[in-house]
Amino acid sequence: MTASHSADPLDQFREWFAEAEKREPGDANAMTVATAGPDGRPSARMVLLKGLDARGFVFYTNLGSRKSRELAANPYASLLFHWKSMEQQVRIEGPAESVTDAEADDYFATRNRLSQIGAWASKQSQPLQGRFALERRVAWFAAKFHVGQIPRPDFWSGFRVIPERIEFWQAEEYRLHNRLVYSRSGDGWKTETLYP
């Protein structure tokens, strides 16, 4: 990380993300989403970033999933991007809100047909009685939607994490890493550097 940085952390993120898309061998948009249930116990999993706008970071999921249930009970999340090849990570914290139906519909329409069928077939996070049960559901929905556009299931949508805190971390020699934190301050952002 250079001494100069953007005044807006979303601009800073876009700059790092664009570089990660060029250099990271895996999915540059892969991120950890950490949530906590009403009992305060955390859980984390990998998902893909599917949207970024002035309001925040968007991902999509089955609304019956554990992460969705936890966000319904405790609507805060933490995101983590780790780009190993670039020795960078970005941590994002803030409240999570549901995307609009129109946003979810628009994104669902961009998914390939098999992924759309998979969304219908999966009872995400529920017990599965053998792989054949899933394959049978996939076949059933493939037959149901054999022609035409596949509608978005009402149990499948997205969340937007609205950043209140974003930390940019850059590895340096001897573990003397650079850490820059943006925190919401009114309508803008304040920044501070942290010890490694």
Q: Which residues are catalytic?
A: 175
- Residue 166, judged by CB atoms within 10 A of its CB (0-12, 13-18, 19+), counts as buried
- C-beta separation of 166 from 102 below 8 A: no
Q: Is 130 exposed, middle or buried (0-12, 13-18, 19+ CB in 10 A)?
A: exposed
Extract the tokens encoding 123. 């009872």
- Total residues belonging to the chain: 196
Q: How far is the CA of 2 from the CAs of 12, 36, 37, 103, 148, in angstroms?
A: 11, 34, 38, 36, 51
Tokens of 93: 């914290």
Token pair in block for residue 153? 């299931």
